[in-house]
Amino acid sequence: MNSTRLLEVNDLRVSFRTDAGEALAVDGVSFSVGAGETLGIVGESGCGKSVSALSILGLIADPPGRVLPGSSVRLRGEELLTAPPARLRDVRGGEVAMVFQEPMTSLNPVLRVGDQVAEAVRRHTELRGDAVNERVVTLLDRVGIPDPASRARAFPHQLSGGMRQRAMIAMALAGDPELLIADEPTTALDVTIQARILTLLDDLRRERNMALVLITHDLGVVAQVADRVAVMYAGRIVEEAPSANLFSTPAHPYTIGLLRSIPDPDKPGDRLEAIPGSVPSPHAWPPGCRFHPRCAVALDRCRTDDPSLMQASATRAACWLVEEDL
Amino acid sequence: MSRQAPPETRGGRPGPLDIVLPGISALLARRLSGFLALGSWLTLLGVAWFRRSRILDVLAQPGWDGILAVLSLVVLIAAIWLAGNRGRWRSIGSLEPEAGRSPVALAGRRFQRHHQAVLGLAMLATLTVVTLLTPLLAPFDPDMMNLSTGRLLAPSAAHWMGTDELGRDLLSRVLYGARISLVIGFLAVVIAITLGTAIGAVAGYAGGWADAILMRIVDLFLSFPRLVLLITVVAVFQPSIPLIVIVLGLTGWMGVSRLVRGQVLSVREREYVQAARALGYGPGRVLGRHILPNVLTPVIVAATLGIGNAILAEAALSYLGLGVQPPTASWGNIIQSGGDRIIDAWWISTFPGLAIVLTVMSFNLVGDGLRDALDPRHVE
Amino acid sequence: MSEPILRAEGLEKRYSTGRSGPAGLRRPVQVEAVRGIDLEIHAGETLALVGESGSGKSTTGRLLLGLEPPSAGRVLYRGRDLADFDRATSSMFRRRTQVVFQDPYGSLNPRLTVGGMLREVLTFHGLAPEHGTSERVAELLTLVGLDPSAAARYPHEFSGGQRQRIGIARALSVEPELIVADEPVSALDVSVQAQVLNLLADLQVELGLTYLFISHDLAVVRHVADRTAVMFEGKIVEEGTTERVFADPQHPYTRELLSSIARPRAGVP
């Protein structure tokens, strides 16, 4: 185990001010990523996964959002939450890059794609002049855009969704990052393209020994690419495990419920096992274990005591059942 | 995060004091509405008291004007009292006080947070009330001349805004002028909005030929210079208030129609509109019940700002002598009459000018507040 | 084989989008969304229309519902051409066929309460029973698994899954026989997806409904559909029973589609 992991997030808490009062979107999230590793953060809408990712790079708008004191985000030991703005700007796009879900809105529609990548190259490298253009073409080529020299002159709306996402990835790579955060990178894309983008991300990771944090609601995506998976629910991580373990022996009832409710293309059935109820709002989190109202195997204790992550071999899960089983 | 207690039980303890002084518990809870409710109620009571002799005069010799004013006063006092006590009535009937959740109620709450907008609204409300109560409030008859001793008097305790060149009290003239300006502004905008919305909605929904033709008509109307047209029409026909209203209305609808058309075009493709069509609803119902209510937001904002414009246009016309004709007072023609004397009798032009500025500014403040409050981002 | 409820023959749909070329030589650019489709939907079955974005599947759904006229070809409802329908028949058709949309956030009029919207439907079609519309509204809401108190609330107060249920209630209010579900669960979270899919399955059994299920999600399709048609660039490239299409895909596009489904490795205690 490395003494200093590439990225260490500890006890992250983020609150938002809304019409109905202040609410915690992220409530005590801790995870770490090592160099060259892929961590998948999985959860449904409202669980806080995107907010967690945005906080790493200090991208939470304040107001209405606020990272609460006591939270820590360390990049190779350096605390990012208190870093001066100039340092943060260097980190963004430099050591840590981010790719978003909707490439159409993440790319500036009035600038040519090549110019946008070039801007990133100029910001984060020493290259100037023609060398910049060469690097742009190299990057576009590496992300799998055919005929990169002429595609560089295209505007975003002239490219397909998959191409735009590749262009975004090229921009992210311009600064040769050690960590790439991808927030739902394939959700807006067609199924056949999804697979290719994920493969691309995986290849890039291996080539550059780049760590990858992949945020998604799609368990299938995570299964394809991740080494380790963290499952989030109601602002917390409820299970964390190596990918293989998570899918073969899931520990937390929420994870189990999620896996059961996905229709399996190889096995049609009559009914899916749906998790009853719905995700609680941050204004009204249930007491005790936040999942207990929807849990089929809840104990009495789950109503009153809030479990923290407990170790069970290679898996950690926030569930009293895990403790009991030991 | 606990839910906030209903407003009427927060801050002050409701007691008999609430019945007597409406809004007192809201005031104690440091809510602006409490201050407004109590303040306006007390002010109206004050008006009723200090003008009691005038009220008695009006009741003795009833005229439409006066009766309307007295009735308005009574209704307003009662309404504010009831509104200020709303919380109490609710708790007596033991109904759960529901913070309204309709999109309109939500917008209302967002509006309240803009202090400038609320100020503008307060000013407008005051203006409206003053306009309604003018016969009771005006200290003098606006047409009563005093050619011997009263000409061109500077503002004083007797005449708060001074007198004009014919000895008429300026304050009374400004008050009566307010009615003219507001009525013209309001009616002109009503015409413009109605016409603009109808044309824009049809153009946006029907598309094709109808859209093309209607938009060319809009372009045609847009090429008329509004003020020049106004002047020409009024010069040809006799200036009268209905004429001014009609011409202002007919020249102010084009912007609205484009606005509405754009909105209709985008809302038309929304899935709930397709669902309405899939349910077999005819175009009239789809347009009227499903599209238009979701399109009105920018229209309301445009209307508010438009009233300000219409008031300015009327003032300009009257200033040119082509608007409201003397002896009827309107802000524009009062300014005109004081134009030559701006040095020695500055008050004649200044006060109505100030009135216009404050009125138009309040409409603009309210319009801005509405624009933010009704932002469709929040609704969906 | 019984007469199909809906049948498409040679359906085509072209849109013209803008003009290309310099001002003097403008030619309208045509987009061919649907390029010749033949399709049949039989009573009681669930037919899935699968494809990626731009395949024309949603447009086909709209054509089948008569929401848009085809550029060529025809749609037959129980043997009768939609284009020949007079007002009364059209109205009847509208009641027999309904639609559920993808986007729970755009599919409900934000200005109407849930109850208001449902009442409008009932009153418009004269479906209000003697004991009043409120009862029927409550019935519909319960049918889709919502509490009747939802009738007093506005769409923005509900979650995505709940809004989708409301959309289903709206479709059911006219007592249709066929429902076109256009990506009904794509915008929902996985756990909510399962709930809505179960609901649709239950309703099919309870009310004897026929579904045209449009989706890009193959796993969902495998689960719900009896027959599957695969669309690619405006044409149907493969069609058959779901089992056969998944087990033995013939067309290369179908094969590519199937191979790119990301599967969580199975194994649940």
Contact B286, B220 (CB under 8 A): no
Across B3-17, B52-66, B235-249, C207-221, least confident range: B3-17
Rounded CA separation B248/A272 (Å) = 64
Sign of CA dihedral C147, C149, C150, C151: positive
Instruction: Compute the distance between CA of residue C178 and CA of residue C32 in angstroms, rounded to an integer.
Output: 27
Rounded Cα gap, residues A98 and A213, in angstroms? 9
Residue C45 is predicted with a pLDDT of 93
Rounded Cα gap, residues B11 and C239, in angstroms: 69
Q: What is the ipTM of this complex?
A: 0.78
Burial class (CB in 10 A: 0-12, 13-18, 19+), A103: buried
Q: Please list the pLDDT of chain C residue by residue as tens digits (269 residues).
A: 467 889 999 999 988 766 555 555 556 667 778 998 999 999 999 999 999 888 889 899 999 999 889 999 999 999 899 988 888 888 889 889 999 988 877 889 888 899 999 998 888 888 877 667 888 899 899 999 898 888 988 888 888 888 999 999 999 999 999 999 999 988 888 888 888 999 999 999 999 999 999 998 888 898 899 999 999 999 999 999 999 999 999 999 999 888 877 666 544 43
The span from the CA of B88 to the CA of C246, in Å, is 67
Sign of the C-alpha dihedral computed for residues B269, B275, B281 and B286 taken in this order: negative
For domain C44-69+92-259, the CATH architecture is: 3-Layer(aba) Sandwich (3.40)
Q: For the segment A267-289, what is each residue's pLDDT rounded down to a tens digit? A: 766 678 888 888 888 888 888 88
SS3 B260: helix
> In this structure, what DSSP letter does residue C72 have?
E
Nearest to A73 by CA among A58, A63, A61: A58
At residue A31, φ and ψ (nearest 5 deg) are: -160, 170
**Other beta carbons within 10 Å of A193:** 20
Distance CA C241, CA C45 (A): 11
Question: Which of A247, A271, A278 has the CB atom closest to C198's CB atom?
Answer: A271
Neighbours of A140 (CB within 10 A): 25
Q: At B181, which CATH number?
A: 1.10.3720.10
* Bridge partner list, C11: C37
| B245 and B344, same domain (yes or no) | yes
The amino acid occupying position C30 is Q
The number of beta carbons lying within 10 Å of the beta carbon of residue C157 is 13
Alpha carbon distance A253, A243 (integer Å):
17
d(CA C204, CA A273): 18
Cα angle for residues C101, C103, C109 (degrees, 5° grid): 85
Q: Look-up: residue for tokens 């109407």?
A: C112
Q: What digits encode the pLDDT tens for the residues A54-89?
A: 899 888 877 788 889 889 999 998 999 988 988 888
Which residues in chain A are contacts of C194 at CB distance < 8 A? 261-263, 272-275
Which ranges constitute the DSSP H helices of chain C? 57-64, 87-96, 114-124, 133-143, 160-172, 190-207, 218-224, 242-247, 252-259
Backbone dihedral angles phi then psi of residue B61, each to the nearest 5 degrees: -120, 85
User: What is this structure's pTM?
Assistant: 0.77
Residue B60 lies in a domain: yes
Q: What's the Cα-to-Cα distance from B122 to each of B127, B364, C35, C229, rounded to whole Å?
A: 8, 13, 61, 63
Q: What is the mean pLDDT of residues B11-28?
A: 63
Same domain, B87 and B198: no
Residue B324, pLDDT above cutoff 50: yes
Instruction: Note the pLDDT of residue B271.
Output: 80
- Per-residue pLDDT at B221: 87
CA pair distance B353, C208, nearest whole angstrom: 73
Alpha carbons B44 and B31: distance in angstroms, whole number:
20
Determine contact: A22 vs chain B, CB below 8 A.
yes
Q: Residue A292: name the closest of A260, A249, A252, A262 by CA.
A: A252
Domain shared by B230 and B366, yes or no: yes
Residue A302 corresponds to which tokens in the numbers above? 């789950």
Question: Which residues of chain A are within 8 Å of residue C266 when distances are taken between CB atoms?
Answer: 247, 264, 266
Which residue, B66, B96, B126, sits at the end of a domain?
Answer: B96
Residue A283 is nearest to which of B1, B106, B109, comparing CB atoms?
Answer: B1
Contact between B337 and B174 (Cβ < 8 Å): no
* CB contact at 8 A, B171 and B161: yes
Residue of chain B nearest A22, judged by CA positions: B1
Buried b or exposed e, range B312-348, using 16+ CB within 10 angstroms: bbbbbbbbbebbbeeebbbbbbbbbbbeeeeeebebb
Instruction: Print the domain residue range for B29.
Output: 16-96
Chain A hits for B109, CB-CB cut-off 8 Å, are: 19
Q: Which spans in chain B are helix H?
A: 16-20, 24-28, 32-50, 52-60, 64-84, 86-92, 103-112, 115-137, 170-206, 208-222, 226-236, 241-250, 254-268, 271-278, 283-285, 296-319, 331-338, 347-373, 376-379
Q: What do you get for the CA distance between the two ends of chain C, in Å?
A: 43
Q: Which residue has the tokens 């650019």?
A: C29
Rounded CA gap, A219 and A323, in Å? 25
| Residue that is last in its domain, among B72, B96, B120 | B96
**CB within 8 Å: A278 and C162:** yes
Q: Would you call B289 an interface residue with chain C, using a CB distance cutoff of 8 Å?
A: yes
Task: Report which secondary-structure segment, H or E, holds A66.
Answer: strand A65-67
Region B204-231 average pLDDT: 87
Residue appearing with tokens 């749909």: C13
Identify residue C139 by its one-letter amino acid code: E
Predicted pLDDT at B1: 34
List the chains bordering chain A where 3 or more Cβ pairs fall under 8 Å: B, C
CB contact under 8 A, C153 and B101: yes
CA distance B379 to A239: 36
Q: What is the pLDDT of residue B99?
A: 54
Whether A45 and C222 lie within 8 Å, measured CB to CB: no
CB A197 within 8 A of CB A166: yes
Domain-embedded: residue B30:
yes
Interface of B to A at Cβ within 8 Å reads: 1, 4, 106, 109
Contact A195 C197 (CB under 8 A): no
Phi, psi of C48 (to 5 degrees): -100, 140
Are B40 and B187 members of one domain?
Answer: no
Rounded to a whole number, what is the distance in Å from the CA of A299 to chain C's nearest CA?
19
**Predicted local confidence at residue B379, as pLDDT:** 41
- Phi-psi bin for C176: left (phi > 0), alpha (psi -120 to 50), beta? beta
Using a CB-CB cut-off of 8 Å, the residues of chain A touching C203 are none
**Rounded distance between C-alpha atoms, residue B244 and residue B232, angstroms:** 11
**pLDDT (tens digit per residue) in C150-201:** 898 888 888 888 899 999 999 999 999 999 999 998 888 888 888 899 999 9
CA distance readout (Å), B258 to B55, B202, B214, B215, B303: 48, 11, 10, 8, 14
The answer to the question of residue B161 being in a domain is: no
Task: Give the pair of three-digit tokens for residue C28.
Answer: 């309208």
Rounded-to-integer distance, Cα B160 and Cα B138, Å: 11
Give CA–CA dist C105/B377, Å, rounded.
12
Residue of B nearest to C96 (CA): B279
- The pLDDT score that the predictor gives to residue B14 is 53
Does any domain span residue B225?
A: yes
Can you read off the two tokens belonging to residue B310? 């219409």
Please work out, in degrees rounded to the nearest 5, the angle formed at the alpha carbon of residue B351 by the alpha carbons of B148 and B302: 140
Task: Look at residue B127 and tell me if it is in a domain.
Answer: no
Please enumerate in sequence order all residues whose Cβ is within 8 A of that of B127, keeping only pairs 6 or more positions apart, or say none.
Answer: B178, B182, B359, B362
The beta-carbon neighbor of B271 closest among C106, C157, C174 is: C106
Q: Which of C15, C77, C99, C111 to mutate to test the interface with B (most CBs of B within 10 A)?
A: C111
Across the 326 residues of chain A, what is the mean pLDDT of every consecutive 10-residue run? Answer: 77 86 89 93 89 89 84 92 88 89 81 90 90 93 91 88 90 92 88 88 92 91 90 93 91 90 74 82 86 88 86 87 70
Among B40, B65, B96, identify where a domain stops.
B96
**SS3 label, residue C19:** strand
